Amino acid sequence: MVLSKTASESDVSVHSTFASRYVRTSLPRFRMAENSIPKEAAYQIINDELMLDGNPRLNLASFVTTWMEPECDKLMMASINKNYVDMDEYPVTTELQNRCVNIIAHLFNAPLEESESAVGVGTVGSSEAIMLAGLAFKRKWQNKRRAEGKPIDNPNIVTGANVQVCWEKFARYFEVELKEVKLREGYYVMDPEKAVEMVDENTICVAAILGSTLNGEFEDVKHLNDLLVEKNKETGWDTPIHVDAASVWFIAPFLYPELEWDFRLPLVKSINVSGHKYGLVYAGIGWVIWRNKEDLPEELIFHINYLGADQPTFTLNFSKGSSQVIAQYYQLIRLGFEGYRNVMENCRENMIVLKEGLEKTKRFNIVSKDEGVPLVAFSLRDNHRHDEFEISDLLRRFGWIVPAYTMPPDAQHVTVLRVVIREDFSRTLAERLVNDIQKVLHELDTLPSKLSSNVKAADGEDGKPAETRALESKKSDLEKTREITTIWRKFVMARKQKMNVVC
């Protein structure tokens, strides 16, 4: 869903210079035109506007794949008109989806017998996958509570404050309380001990994040599992674990095979992943895998026959394209274990190049970990005069899209920049980015403090400059940092009001 505002109240028409070869009349911007236009004109008008989008290769904010091999592009285009849900009409596509589910389940060490099929489904992305996993946990909890004659009106999920927004969406949409373990400076993932302390009889699951989007760090799923096993023994509960491995599912098995986080742990009942991240597929594919059939309540599965034969379905939507499923299968058989390991090792090596380049500037603290998602999260050692939001804004002049953001509670006073290292981010690009960051730092060093310029504009009635009054008030470093962050947040939000906001 897109929440949008008009770019300009006065400019209500769409114009295109080159399209004037085919049509001279401008088009209404927000209403359908009365007449058709030539296909060449429609193409040119849209193409001209899209030129102003950012370059996906330089979008270092996103984990989503931006490059695939031409052969896979051909397969995707050849299947773009296939509706994934028409299983009877497209049985081969359905078979490829089932193969993907089983390959991923075995990669995650699902306890399957030799001839047993895995339980899972392809989704639009990890957001839908999390919704489905959450619904399964909620229904299992409800069924157990009903059988015990207990109320079912207050379910909750325990997770860290570092979770992605889709968890908040699930909690709000499906009326489940989200109990978040707060973060702290220097520790930006969920503390397993604090999480288990928050578990009660109404907890439908504990959600662990393997690869936090904030700094790429792995949460300690094994320690969480061990603590929860003991609590379940003491209380008689059977609180399970869900692992959100959206960003890391094709990283951990290849770079850290000894790390126990998946179905090797008895309380891990389901895992969601994003095929369009390090699964190396364009946006629009996710997966959710269950440990076994008992972990997915049968009543959540719908059986339809109006498209042909009986077709079981467990999705939030209905129709969707087949292209991404086919692309996922292509990557799995094309790369194999060796190929994925090579890609992930290359990403990690390029991450180290970028990290070391930033450390050499002696201007940043690195807040990401070497073991985790291949990304570099970093913050200024001194952000009193200029901050991370200014660096992010100035880097756009060079084409780079590097996000700046504040950490969740209780570490919201910490601001970081983050660069995601994808397959298409080379060592050369890493070195160029460091050079451009140094140019930005040099420019900022020559500029007055952004805080000073904002505070000077707000002189008080006593005649003293507001900057002087601010110094006299002897604010703590924390207060200064928060004030800078507030000023820049308002600045960024003001700019966003002129652009579409994606929900």
Q: Please write the tens of the pLDDT for every residue from 335-351.
A: 999 999 999 999 999 99
Strands 156-160 and 119-123: unpaired
Same domain, 204 and 312: yes
Instruction: Check residue 160 and give its pLDDT.
Output: 97
Residue 255 included in any domain? yes
| DSSP-based three-state secondary structure for 343 | helix
Please tell me the predicted confidence (pLDDT) of residue 434: 98
What's the Cα-to-Cα distance from 137 to each of 77, 270, 293, 296, 386, rounded to whole Å?
Answer: 37, 9, 13, 8, 46
Please check whether residue 40 lies inside any domain of the structure. no
Q: Return all residues near 481 (Cβ < 8 A) that are at least 6 apart.
A: 383, 384, 387, 413, 415
CA 455 to CA 132: how far, in whole Å? 49
Last residue of a domain, one of 423, 439, 455: 439
Question: What pLDDT does 431 receive?
Answer: 96
pLDDT (0 to 100) of residue 14: 73
Structural domains counted in the chain: 2
369 and 398 in a single domain? The answer is yes
Structural domain for 81, as ranges: 74-334
CATH of the domain at 403: 3.90.1150.160
- Asked if 67 and 423 count as a contact pair (C-beta separation under 8 A), the reply is yes
Q: Which segments in the chain show pLDDT lower than 70?
A: 1-12, 15-24, 306-310, 450-503
User: Do 278 and 410 fall within a single domain?
Assistant: no
Q: pTM of this prediction?
A: 0.86
**Where is 2: in which H helix or E strand?**
strand 2-3
Whole-number Å distance between alpha carbons of 175 and 450:
43
Task: Assess if residue 450 is contained within a domain.
Answer: no
> Residues 245, 272: contact at Cβ < 8 Å?
yes
Dist. CA 306–CA 415, nearest whole Å: 53
Cβ-defined contacts of 456-461 (< 8 Å, 24+): none
Are residues 409 and 287 located together in one domain of the fold?
no
What the block records as the tokens of 480 is 């200064």
